[in-house]
Amino acid sequence: MNNLRVVYFGMLGDFSRRPLQALLAAEVMITAVCVPAAEKWPGVRRVEPVTAVSQLPLLTPFAAATIVSIAWQQSIPVYEIGDLNASDTRAYLAGLQPDIACVSCFDRRIPGGVLAIPRHGFLNVHPSLLPDFRGPAPLFWTFREGIRATGVTVHFMDEGLDTGDIVLQTPLTLPDGISGAAADELLADAGGQLLVEALARLQEDTLSRRPQSGNGRSAPTPRPADFHIPTTWPARRAFNFIRGAAEWGRPFTIHAAEELVRAQTAVSYQPDGQLPQPVVRQGAVSHVQFSPGILTVPAGSNPQQTGEQTQDTAPAE
């Protein structure tokens, strides 16, 4: 696949890093890596609208790898992009003469004028089975809705939000209790392999595409109320949601009869079982009755009366 000139767009996390590593392992020709200027990139100076990074400082072995450090190791130029609508940005991208652009977790809407620059357009890796869970937080909503059968999609980008034609998809089942970070890695690895396959088919002129069917579901940025957990859920669903969304760093709230339980993580769950009361405190943990089952969370602060709740803890079903 080294006949295709590829520009890669991404950010700091694993969902950008792992697909880039998959492309490099497949000897895809990455001509440039583009990052959003709002990120705090080590060794990258922010200059609007586009900054070419010719030299990056040597990172210590203890620093986490990012697409910036990987690009530096491979002598791939890295560019900060501040304004995708700027004429300088478009001129720079056009000057790279890309055949295709690949995106995996990029927080800027890419305008139509930029989408048209690569000869074959833009391919995006999305951590859901589109058209379900379009938007910036698909994994959060996958966990919140209690869905374990999920997957990854590679699709062509258009000016909508994750609405472009689907190229490839693969299903995945999330195990009980998986963290958001571990799920991100699992989906990123699958997405990277799909991206490699898509580029191989593109070069062979065998890449097919199909429009997305139905209306799908959007996945907006979570609000504070979305971290409330009703006890009408099964305990298993509550356990998996807390474990999967804990990396957001917001407290989860559970209204159990007259008490408000706050939790940062979950310890375990029993799919069945009945407590003598809605909340049972036992040493370092609290057990909360769900329907069905029992959720166990670290005790933390004592449960509060529900009359103390704030707007942040208002239920969201």
User: Which pLDDT does position 151 carry in this prediction?
Assistant: 97
What CATH code is carried by the domain that includes residue 280? 3.10.25.10
**Do 36 and 105 belong together in one domain?**
yes
**Do 129 and 46 belong together in one domain?**
yes
Phi/psi of residue 306, nearest 5 degrees: -65, -20
The total number of structural domains in the chain stands at 2
Q: What residues does 230 pair with on adjacent strands?
A: 255
Read off the amino acid at residue 27.
E
**Do 264 and 119 belong together in one domain?**
no
Asked if residue 215 belongs to a domain, the reply is: no
User: Which pLDDT does position 57 carry in this prediction?
Assistant: 38
User: Which pLDDT does position 300 carry in this prediction?
Assistant: 67
**Do 192 and 276 belong together in one domain?**
no
**Do 228 and 200 belong together in one domain?**
no
* Domain final residue pick, 143, 169, 204: 204
Asked if residue 216 belongs to a domain, the reply is: no
What CATH code is carried by the domain that includes residue 107? 3.40.50.170
**Do 196 and 258 belong together in one domain?**
no
**Do 92 and 128 belong together in one domain?**
yes
* Domain final residue pick, 137, 171, 204: 204
Instruction: Answer positive or negative: Cα dihedral of 217, 222, 224, 229.
Output: positive
Asked if residue 213 belongs to a domain, the reply is: no
Asked if residue 92 belongs to a domain, the reply is: yes
Range of the domain at 264: 224-313
Q: What residues does 124 pair with on adjacent strands?
A: 103, 155
Asked if residue 214 belongs to a domain, the reply is: no
CA 112 remoteness from chain centre: 23
**Do 27 and 75 belong together in one domain?**
yes
pLDDT (tens digit, 0 to 9) for every residue of the chain, 317 residues total?
678 999 999 998 999 999 999 999 999 999 999 998 765 555 443 433 334 443 333 344 445 788 988 998 898 988 888 888 888 888 889 999 999 999 999 988 999 999 999 999 999 999 999 999 999 999 999 999 999 999 999 999 999 999 999 999 999 999 999 999 999 999 999 999 999 999 999 999 999 999 998 778 888 899 999 999 999 999 999 999 999 999 999 999 999 988 999 999 999 999 999 999 999 999 999 999 999 999 999 986 444 544 444 444 443 44
Asked if residue 211 belongs to a domain, the reply is: no
* Domain final residue pick, 154, 174, 204: 204
**Do 276 and 148 belong together in one domain?**
no
| Prediction pTM value | 0.87
**Do 191 and 232 belong together in one domain?**
no
Q: Assign residue 249 a region: left if phi > 0, alpha if psi is -120 to 50, beta otherwise? A: left
**Do 9 and 52 belong together in one domain?**
yes
User: Which pLDDT does position 304 carry in this prediction?
Assistant: 52
**Do 243 and 126 belong together in one domain?**
no
Asked if residue 163 belongs to a domain, the reply is: yes
Asked if residue 196 belongs to a domain, the reply is: yes
